Structure 1
Amino acid sequence: MSDNNNKLQKRVPDALKEKGQYVLAFSVIASMLMVAGFPMFVIFFFGIFAYFLWKTFSSPSRNETREIFQFYLAANDVLRDDERRWFGFEMQEVIGRGERILRAINGAPPLVYFTLGALYHKAGDYKSAVNHLAYVLENESAEEATYIYPSPELRNYVKVLRKIEREPAEAPLTSAAVRALERARRNRGKVLLEESREQVQEQSRKKREAALEQAKTKAVLTESVQDVAVFQSVTDEVIENQHGNGFENKAKADSSNSKTSSRDQKRNENENQDNGNPFIRQKSITEVLHDIYDKPNSVK
C-alpha cells in the first residue's frame, strides 16, 4: 500500500497528462478540419466549445472533499469518549464511508487512514485496525510532507482544510472534529496500534486452543465409539453363547425325555400284552402236580 501511494505522489500529475491529451486531440481535429476546407472561424468556435466542455467535465469535484469532512464528523462522534452506546451497523456505516473515500481518492489524507484504524479498533476488527494504523504511524511515506504531487481531490481537500483552520467559526463542528482526530492520532495512535496487535495475537491463540480442544474432543468421541462397538460385540457373543448352550441343553433334555418316554411306552405295551394273553406264561409240570395234590389236602 505504501509503495503504491508513494508512486502516486511522485509521478507526473494526472491533470497535466489530461491537458496534454486534450491539446493533442484538439490539434489533430483542427488540422483535419483545415485540410477538409472548413473556415478558420468554425475551427475557432469549435475549439472554444471543446474547451468549455473540457472545463465542465474535468474540473475537480468537491463531492469527495465534502465526503471527507462529513466522515470526520461522524467518526469523531463514534470515537468520542462519552456514555453513548453505538450499534454495530452504525459503526459499519461510518467505516464504509471511509473505505469509499480511500477507493475514490488517489493518495488520501493520512488522517483518513488513522480514523479508519481507530474505528476498526472500536468495532473489534483488530486485524484491519493494525493494517491502517501501522501504515499511518510506522510508514514514513504516510507523512504529510511526502505528498509532493497531489491529486486534484487532495489539493481541493487541503484548500478547504486550511480555510477551516484559519476561520474555525465558519465550521466549528468540523474544526473541532479535525482537531480531536489529530490529537488522538498524536497521543493515542501508538497505544491503539499496540492494543490491536495484542488482540490479534490473543485471537490467534484462542483459535489455536479451540482447534486443539476440538481435535481432543473428536479423538475422545472416536475412542468412545470404538469402546461401545467392542463392548457390543462382546455382549452379543456372550448372548449368542448363552442361547447356544440353552438350545443344546434343551435338545439334550428333549432327547432324554424322549428316550424315557419310549422305554415307559415299551414297558406299558409289554404289560398290556401280558394281561391280554393267558398263555404268555405257562406253568411247569411240577407246579401243576403240586397244585393238584395240594387241593385235596386243603379240602380235608
Structure 2
Amino acid sequence: MSDKLQKKTSESLKENSQYALAFGLIATMLFVAGFPLFVIFFFGIFAYVLWKTFSQPSRSETREIFEFYLSANELLRDDERRWFGFEVQEVIARGERILQLMNGAPPLVYFTLGALYNKIGDYKSASNHLAYVLENENADEATFNYPSPDLRNYVRILRKIEREPAEAPQTSAAVRSLERARRNRGKTLLENSRLLLKEQEAKKQEAAFAEKKQKELAQKNAEKTVEKIFVSVVQNEPGAYSIDNGREVSSTENQPTPNDSANHKKKKQKNTDDPFANRKPISEVLHDIYDSK
C-alpha cells in the first residue's frame, strides 16, 4: 500500500531509542550493584529479543486491519473497475484471519466482511456477519469495556488517524467510507442478503425436486424397456405361448412336425394310387341328371 500508517524509519528509531534509554538505565543500576559487564550485556540482548518477539505481532495485526480496510473499500466502491474473483477471496481471507487471531475484533471488520460476502454472492455468510453487527447488542463499540491489548492498540492508531488524517489520508478515507456504509446501508444489505438467501434455497429445492423427478422418469423408462425386451425374448423362445381369441396357443402348436409331413405325403400318395379317388359323390350325380332333364 502506498499510504503508510506510520513512517517506518521514524517509528523504528523512536522505539530503539526508548529501548536504549531503558537498557542504559537498568545496566547502570546493575553495574553499580556489582554485576559483571558480560552478564549485563547478555541480559540486554535477551530482553531485546523478548521485547521484539512479543511486541511485533500486535503491531503487525493492527496494521493488517487497516490494510484490510483499504483493500475492502476499493472492492466495495461503486466504480467501473472489474475485480477478479481471487482478489476478492484474498481480501476476505485476510479479514477472516483477523477474526481468528484477534481477541475482540472491531465491529467494522465484521461489517466489511459481510459486505464482501454479499458482493460475491455468499449470502449466508453475509447474513451471519451483518446480523452480528446490526442486531447483536454486544457488537456495539460501547460494550467493549475490557479491551484486549490488540484492540487497545487498534483504537490508539484509529484515534490518531482520525485526529491527523493528513498522515494517512487513504486509510482515513477508507475508514470513514466503511463507517458511512455501515450506518446508511447496513440494514439494507442485511435484508437483501436474507432475501437472496431465501431465493437461493428455493432454487436449490426446485433443482433437487426436478432432479428427483427426472431420475424417477428415467427409472420408469428403463423398467418399461426391460419389460419389452423380456416379452420379446419370451415370445421368440420355442414352446412359448401367445393369445389367440382368448385361448393360449403354443408357438409350436401350428408348426409342422416330421410326423405331419410324413402323413401328408402318405395321404397324397394314396389319393394318386386309388382309381376312384376323383369319383363324384352320388348327390352330385343325381343333381346333374335332374338338371339335364
Q: State whether TM-score is above 0.5.
A: yes
Instruction: Verify: 1:104 aligned to 2:101, yes or no.
Output: yes
Matching residue within 249, 252, 256 for 1:251: 256
Q: Residue 178 of structure 2 corresponds to which residue in structure 1?
A: 181
**1:48: Cα distance to partner?**
6.8
**1:158: Cα distance to partner?**
1.1
Q: Residue 55 of structure 1 corresponds to which residue in structure 2?
A: 51
Task: Summarize deviations over 1:78-112 as a string: whole Å, max 9, x none.
Answer: 00011111111110011011111111211111111
Instruction: Verify: 1:199 aligned to 2:200, yes or no.
Output: no
User: What is the number of equivalent residue pairs in this alignment?
Assistant: 232
Amino acid at match of 1:168: P
Structure 1 residues 259, 208: CA separation in 2 closer, same or farther (over 3 Å shift)? same
Q: Residue 81 of structure 1 corresponds to which residue in structure 2?
A: 78
Q: Residue 16 of structure 1 corresponds to which residue in structure 2?
A: none
Q: What is the Cα-based RMSD across aligned positions, in Å?
A: 3.0
Q: Residue 72 of structure 1 corresponds to which residue in structure 2?
A: 69
SS of residue in 1 equivalent to 2:256: helix
Name stretches of at least 5 consecutive residues in structure 2 with no aligned partner.
Answer: 1-32, 243-248, 274-293
Amino acid at match of 2:54: S
CA distance in 2, matches of 1:47, 1:256: 123
Task: Summarize deviations over 1:148-195 as a string: whole Å, max 9, x none.
Answer: 122222111111111111111111111111110000000001111111
Instruction: Verify: 1:208 aligned to 2:213, yes or no.
Output: no
Quick one: higher RCO (CA 8 Å, sep 6+), 1 or 2? 1
**1:59: Cα distance to partner?**
2.7
Task: Summarize deviations over 1:90-136 as a string: whole Å, max 9, x none.
Answer: 10011011111111211111111100110011011111111111111
**1:50: Cα distance to partner?**
6.1
CA distance in 2, matches of 1:184, 1:248: 91
Structure 1 residues 174, 247: CA separation in 2 closer, same or farther (over 3 Å shift)? same
CA distance in 1, matches of 2:114, 2:72: 11
**1:53: Cα distance to partner?**
5.0
Structure 1 residues 261, 118: CA separation in 2 closer, same or farther (over 3 Å shift)? same
CA distance in 2, matches of 1:72, 1:157: 13
Q: Residue 117 of structure 2 corresponds to which residue in structure 1?
A: 120
- Structure of greater Rg: 1
CA distance in 2, matches of 1:58, 1:257: 111
Query: Once structures 1 and 2 are overlaid, which stretch shifts more, 207-216 or 97-106?
Result: 207-216
**1:267: Cα distance to partner?**
9.7
If each structure's helix is expressed as a fraction of its own residues, which one has the higher value?
1
CA distance in 1, matches of 2:156, 2:35: 39
CA distance in 2, matches of 1:260, 1:167: 123
What is the aligned-residue identity percentage?
57
CA distance in 1, matches of 2:123, 2:216: 33
Name stretches of at least 5 consecutive residues in structure 1 with no aligned partner.
Answer: 1-38, 270-300
TM-score scaled by length of structure 2: 0.69
Q: Residue 275 of structure 1 corresponds to which residue in structure 2?
A: none
CA distance in 1, matches of 2:43, 2:250: 114
Structure 1 residues 250, 180: CA separation in 2 closer, same or farther (over 3 Å shift)? same
CA distance in 1, matches of 2:75, 2:263: 101
CA distance in 2, matches of 1:53, 1:245: 102
**1:236: Cα distance to partner?**
3.1
